[in-house]
Amino acid sequence: MVNRYRGETVLMVEGEPLPMRLSLGALAKLEHAFSVDSLPALGERFSGGRLSARDVTRILTAGLRGAGSSVSEDQVASFAFDGGLNGAIRAAIALLDATFGDPADESATEAGAGPRPPQPPAA
């Protein structure tokens, strides 16, 4: 079970829930990976509405590592995500919402509270 007040969410891979959380260390690594110098700049980078496959992989990897996993980006890129590409994108968006959104707002994941991350393509 995830604790939204801690910024936790899950990534579903082959029916297994993998916990994710963007810890301060994970956020610092994302700042470095995306060449930004602050958390607001990182939030703005994600709110631009464009995420590449590499971006999604980096976000998911950082979230998994922030929750204690030792997976590599290559391993995450090879996962069979529940829901395919859309499932991976939704998980990345949910993680960003859990991190930057209002934890008291139960609809934050669906409503895109906080910095507005991009929406997954329609199925």
Spatial CB neighbours of 86, under 8 Å, sequence gap ≥ 6:
120, 121, 123
Does the model's pTM come out above 0.85? no
On whether the CB atoms of residues 8 and 98 are closer than 8 A, the answer is: yes
56 lies in which domain range?
4-111
Residue 64 lies in a domain: yes
Q: Dig out the tokens for 44 from the structure.
A: 């703005």
Residue 118 lies in a domain: no
Q: Check residue 90 and give its pLDDT.
A: 93
Interval 11-62: pLDDT, tens: 999 999 999 999 999 999 999 999 999 988 888 888 777 788 999 999 999 9
Q: Tell me, rounded to whole angstroms, the distance of Cα 31 from its chain centroid.
A: 14
Interval 1-25: pLDDT, tens: 677 778 899 999 999 999 999 999 9
Residue 69 lies in a domain: yes
Spatial CB neighbours of 94, under 8 Å, sequence gap ≥ 6:
9, 109
Residue 117 lies in a domain: no
Interval 63-120: pLDDT, tens: 999 999 999 999 999 999 999 999 999 999 999 888 887 655 554 443 333 344 455 5
